[in-house]
Structures are given as C-alpha cells and as structure tokens.
Structure 1
C-alpha cells in the first residue's frame, strides 16, 4: 500500500475501534453491536480496491483481536474483516464513480450478514458457541439494521477522505462542483448534478432571449429614424 493510504487508514481504524468499544458497545442495544470498524473498512475498500481492502481489513481486525476487552482467539476477526474488505473492494468501478446508492447499501447489508456468519462459523470451529446461545437470526437482522442506519454517516466521509488523500482528480473537481465524488451519490443519488444541468440550460435560454430582444430593439430604432 502507498504511504499516504497507511497514514490515513491507521488513525481512521483506531478512532473507529475506540468509539465502538467505548461508546457503541455500552449502549446495550438488543442483538448485535453496531460495527463502526466494519463500516470504516468498507469505505476504504470501495476506494482502494480489493487488495487494499483486504490489507486494511486484516490490520483492523487484528487490532480489534488484541484490543481489550477482546474475549476471542486472536486472528478471528482479522480473518473476517480481511475477507470482507476483499469482496467489498471488488465493486470499485474503473471510472471511480458510482451511479446510485444501491450498490453501497447492498454491500453494507451483505457485509453485515456475511461477517456475522463468518465470525460465528469460525467461532464454532474453535469451540465458541456464544452465537448459538444468543440467537443467530436475531444477530443477523440487528447487525444488518444497525450497520445500514449508521452507514450514511460513516461510509461517505471515509470514502471522501480516502479519495482526497489519494489525490484523486475526481475528488478535487467534485469539491468545486465540476464533477461528482464517488461518495456524493450516497445521499443525493446524483440529483444535484441533474438540477445543476437544468439550471445551466435555463440560463443559456434566457441569455439567447435577451440577445434576440436587443436585436429587435435596435431594428425598431432604425425604423423610427
């Protein structure tokens, strides 16, 4: 990975893990805990691609495995986030722009369900049956719901930061209104660009009308003389 990607990924992962452990885990919500670390990995993976997503996911998962109050075998969550980051990075388009929010939303839901299943499956292999006692269906539904509600506040910002630090021309032009950033379509679904184009066309029509009226005025003045 590039140095600038590492310098961005490390603080984002650390902050996400601290918030998840110190705040989200203490909310005592029914079912699963909102996975802020997973959403951070997804945002980076959808910009860095499958290789970068796998590396970030492995590092983030390994940090979560050793950070207190971890009560599972080291490497378990690293495997889960590594696989999740890899598959999330596969949806990165070649043009760098997503046309709708359907893709990222589907990725969040699939990642929440897939990571929960994979985590429970790896736990079953090592003798951890906690997911079976809690209720796996309830964990799957709550994990998908919490992550989907939290995603619009996390994933677009992470993607925007990743593109800015990568010196992506799409991100730079998107900041001035000339092009759309990959994360801008998450909440607006591209409607801002459509409205802007309509306003530009309307302004052009008004300018042409003023030019024609000015020409008519000059012709009438000649006739009066």
Structure 2
C-alpha cells in the first residue's frame, strides 16, 4: 500500500529536519521542498515556523505560501501549521516589527505576547483537548513541548460543543500565565502551537493521527 505523501514547506524557517524525520517515522513519504507544484499536489502540507512572526511571513510570501495554503484549503486538502506556522494563520501579531505585517488571515485575531513572568514558555506542558479531537486521539492526557513567547490568547470563532455544525473548529487550550490556544482542528486546517516533532512519543502519535487521516 502506498504511503501518504507529505511536503514540509521549505521557506527558510530554521532547521526542519526533525519534522521530516518525525513524519517519516510515522509512515509518511516526506519531501522537504519549496516547489509550489509539489506543495499543492501532496496529500498533506506541513508548515513549520521558528522564530519571528514577521520573518516567517516574509519567507512564506517569498515561497508563495499564502496562496498555496489558500488553494489547498479551498479544495479541502489538509494543512498542518506548527508553532509560528500556526501563528501566521491568524490576522497578525503584536510582536514588534519595523512595519506592521499581516498574517494569512485564515482565523481572526492577533497573536499576543504571553502574560507570564518568564518568557519564552519553554518546556513540557499538558493541554486541554476537546472531545472528538482527531489530533489528540489517544494522547489527550500527555505533555507536549513548547518554545514560544507569543500565542493566540482568545478564539474569535464559534467552537464545537455538541450543538453546532460538525465543521465548527475544535480548539485545544493550554495555560502559561493565561490560557492560550494550543491547537486547532478546523476542517482540513490543523495547527499546533507546540512542536509535535519534538514531543517524544506523544508528538509522534499526534503526527501519526494526522498522517493516517490524509
């Protein structure tokens, strides 16, 4: 049986070899590339993100990332954004910049600095995943590895509660100084603020859940 093909979008966002290795370990056929044709054609697109929001957005624009993500989502093709690769899916960030830089805008709201005595939030933390989560099936009680100073502190779209449409986003929360969005499952669009590829067996299980669903 052929393996699901995943492209890790290579737009200059730090060392992403750990993501490639993790995805390969859970059974995906993985390509690290900035080629738009490959990114559009693959079964699943993994969008990494390390460091500064504005630098990541500049790199994504240089690689035609916003259009690629929009085209994939319009066709119901899965996308997984990780860390700053999740943050760029919002309207923007309050992270300091010489000039305002807009995010991709798939979700409303600004990413903000964590209101904690010590930032970055670096290390392992548990999350609160909603019932019915695909990503956290089997690992909802596990810890995941975070490295970030900014996050979405609010969620401005309706969330699934059993009475809303199945397409309504499932939002997972974590707490560091204040509650923040740790993961989102929104139709074909998935995202985690933590690094599943650096989260040991729990992170591999989460990635395997995503790869199997492609």
Q: Based on CA coordinates, which of the two structures has the bigger radius of gyration?
A: 1
Decide: shared fold, TM above 0.5. Answer: no
TM-score by length of 2: 0.30
Instruction: Return the structure number with greater helix share.
Output: 1
